Amino acid sequence: MAELPEIKRLARQMEEALRDKPIRRVEILQEKCTNVPPASWGERVRGASVQQVQNKGKWIVLALTGGESILLSLGMGADVFYHRTGEARPEKYQVRVELEDGSGFTARFWWFGSFLLVSRQELGEEPNTKNIAMDPLDARFTWEYFQSLAQGRRTQVKSFLLNQKLVGGIGNMYIHDILFLSRVHPQKKLCDLNEKEVEALYHSVRGQLEMSLNKGGFSREPDFYGEAGGYTEKDFLVGYRAGKPCPVCGEAVEQIKTGSTSSYLCPACQPLG
Amino acid sequence: MAELPEIKRLARQMEEALRDKPIRRVEILQEKCTNVPPASWGERVRGASVQQVQNKGKWIVLALTGGESILLSLGMGADVFYHRTGEARPEKYQVRVELEDGSGFTARFWWFGSFLLVSRQELGEEPNTKNIAMDPLDARFTWEYFQSLAQGRRTQVKSFLLNQKLVGGIGNMYIHDILFLSRVHPQKKLCDLNEKEVEALYHSVRGQLEMSLNKGGFSREPDFYGEAGGYTEKDFLVGYRAGKPCPVCGEAVEQIKTGSTSSYLCPACQPLG
DNA sequence: TAATCTAACAACGA
DNA sequence: CTCGTTGTTAGATT
């Protein structure tokens, strides 16, 4: 559920709250979430501390002193909460990291979360993350880069933007308004767009994600400290607004099936033909 | 067009005709057929001689003294003809190998043929050939091997047998009678077959290919010396006999589309349901 | 509502 | 009649 704005927010907060504090222990209550036996977590990370927290697409990469990295995926929704020294922890969680000073964090996965431990050598080859593409909030995600990425692809625009091997970090929430703002139908083939449309797409992608990040991310996704973001349902233009009027032309917003997911669009502003 | 019987026949004949005779030159008239500049062919193979000719699926592998190998694919049809010393050569061909004694061979590709040169180090990693599976005329292609290969696959029987990564060497000609002889519909799912049917399939695959090889291959595919094989259209049971009576039950043979290829079958002997 | 891997299948190009 | 690449879909997963 969390997409780039929420992931970026969480990475930043995790770095500021955890950096340089030695880890005392790691509790793995759900073995399926991880890639190594729970027992070896302790051996490998005890005494190490978080140096840097970055994102790779929707994954969060916590680089530790000593060369190990923690790879965190929120799957289809998760609460990742910091707790200060002595502060109560949530009752339910699958994994917990406790620091020497008694503070730490828990992760509660709603569905399909992952919490992996990889060595420096394994990091670049880790199958879940190695093929994830650059994200639109990266400074190197330029117009030229996007243009060559989109060049000649026959796939549908929505598939393209959600394909994590091509564009990192977009999920099925921000996509609706991104496409609406560029006036492109989700099922239009990329190779059928003219350059103006591709350019509009580029600016909508970056603009929407950056705007939400500036507002603190989606309000229904609490941050590391349990606070809601400032980007709310009221900000949605067509997303999840089936039957309501298009904010531009007043036409009723449509909800359609696109593969296994839903899409929301204005049939007048985003014609397919 | 050539399948395992024709390929095996050609490999055997090439070995017997070419072995131990030094190569004088290689002529590449169609650069698209090959993987190295035509000029470097001469440098790399001059003076070497063919040691052994084998097949890997439908590919022919000519191992030369000195460690280089020639990889030959007939694509969708090709004439590969030997010429004795002083003997006239075909007028049209894309590649030609001439030996020091004046004999040699030409290859005329009708569509998509390949004539590659690889070093000993490259041979195992050559992308076109490295994932080709064992073929049914290999002595190690046992019932146990086939059974474990087929185990649990949900794919259609025809797709399975034509998938070169799983079974090497079968194409869209012998497949029709192979399936008819085992009374299996091409679109039946492999996992829906009982063991008797899988066993019947195993024996039909080996039996048909071996039978054709023993007859000298398909009559419409001339061999290295331009001779026709002894396996003719009269040998077809249901293949290419749309509308004609099934040789077993008299029902009219059907032609259906299976993906991009055609299939011929007896709807009574090979029921789908 | 949401994410990703996999196998199988279709369309296309060389 | 070939085969690799790309993209789509259905099914699976905790």
pLDDT, tens digit (0-9, with 9 covering 90-100), for B19-39:
999 999 999 999 999 999 999
- Which bases of strand C sit closer than 7 A to a protein CB? 1-12, 14
Please write the tens of the pLDDT for every residue from A168-227. Answer: 999 999 999 999 999 999 999 999 999 999 999 999 999 999 999 999 999 999 999 999
Over 80: is that where the pLDDT of A73 sits? yes
Q: Residue A67: what pLDDT?
A: 98
Nearest nt to the A160 alpha carbon by C1': D7
Q: Residue B260: what pLDDT?
A: 81
Over 90: is that where the pLDDT of B1 sits? no
Cβ contact A95:A29 at 8 Å: yes
* Higher-scoring residue by pLDDT: B226, B1: B226
Over 80: is that where the pLDDT of A159 sits? yes
CA of B114 to C1' of D4 (A): 14
Tokens of B75: 């694509």
Please write the tens of the pLDDT for every residue from A214-266. Answer: 999 999 999 999 999 999 999 999 999 999 999 999 999 999 999 889 999 99
Nearest nt to the A109 alpha carbon by C1': D14
Residue B261: pLDDT band (50, 70, 90) is confident
Nearest nt to the A33 alpha carbon by C1': D14
Over 80: is that where the pLDDT of B162 sits? yes
Q: Quickly list DSSP for chain B.
A: ---HHHHHHHHHHHHHHHTTPBEEEEEES-GGG-SS-HHHHHHHHTT-BEEEEEEETTEEEEEETTS-EEEEE-TT-EEEEEE-TT----S--SEEEEETTS-EEEEEESSS-EEEEE-HHHHTT-TTTTTPPPPTTSTT--HHHHHHHHTT--SBHHHHHH-TTTS-S--TTHHHHHHHHTT--TTSBGGGS-HHHHHHHHHHHHHHHHHHHHTTSBTTS--TTSPPPSB-GGG-SSTT-TTSBPTTT-PBPEEEEETTEEEEE-TTTS---
Element (H, E) at A60: strand A59-64
- Rounded to whole angstroms, how far apart are CA atoms B82 and A151? 47
Residue B84: pLDDT band (50, 70, 90) is very high
CA of B261 to C1' of C8 (A): 16
User: Residues 233-272 of chain B: which lie with beta carbon within 7 Å of strand D?
Assistant: 260-262
Measured in residues, chain A has a length of: 273
Q: Residue B146: what pLDDT?
A: 92
CA of B259 to C1' of D2 (A): 14
Average pLDDT over residues A63-75: 98
Nearest residue to C13, CA vs C1'?
A: B112
Burial of B24 (0-12, 13-18, 19+ CB in 10 A): middle
Q: Residue A240: what pLDDT?
A: 96
Residue B167: pLDDT band (50, 70, 90) is very high
CA of A100 to C1' of C1 (A): 38
Q: What percentage of chain A reaches a pLDDT higher than 90?
A: 99
- Residue A258's SS3 state is strand
Over 90: is that where the pLDDT of A1 sits? no
Average pLDDT over residues B41-51: 97
Residue B259: pLDDT band (50, 70, 90) is confident
Summary mean pLDDT of chain A: 97
- Residue A79's SS3 state is strand
Q: Is the C-beta of residue B32 closer than 7 Å to nucleic acid chain D? A: no
Residue B151: pLDDT band (50, 70, 90) is confident
Q: Quickly list DSSP for A88-118.
A: PPPS--SEEEEETTS-EEEEEESSS-EEEEE
* Higher-scoring residue by pLDDT: B103, B258: B103
Q: Is the C-beta of residue A110 closer than 7 Å to nucleic acid chain D? A: no
Nearest nt to the A112 alpha carbon by C1': D14
- Which bases of strand D sit closer than 7 A to a protein CB? 1-14
User: Residues 174-233 of chain A: which lie with beta carbon within 7 Å of strand D?
Assistant: 189
Nearest nt to the B171 alpha carbon by C1': D1
Over 80: is that where the pLDDT of B273 sits? no
Nearest nt to the A111 alpha carbon by C1': D14
Average pLDDT over residues A7-34: 97
Q: Residue B21: what pLDDT?
A: 98
Q: Is the C-beta of residue B128 closer than 7 Å to nucleic acid chain D? A: yes
Task: Pick the closest to residue B186 from B174, B168, B196, B195 (CA basis).
Answer: B174
Q: What angle do CA A169, A173, A176 make, to 5 degrees?
A: 105
Q: Is the C-beta of residue B73 closer than 7 Å to nucleic acid chain D? A: yes
- Rounded to whole angstroms, how far apart are CA atoms B126 and B56? 12
Nearest residue to D13, CA vs C1'?
A: A112
Q: Residue A188: what pLDDT?
A: 96
- Rounded to whole angstroms, how far apart are CA atoms A205 and B255? 50
Q: Is the C-beta of residue A73 closer than 7 Å to nucleic acid chain D? A: no
Residue B78: pLDDT band (50, 70, 90) is very high
Phi/psi region, residue A159 (left: phi>0; alpha: psi -120 to 50; beta: rest), is alpha
How far, in whole angstroms, is CA B37 from its chain's centroid? 27
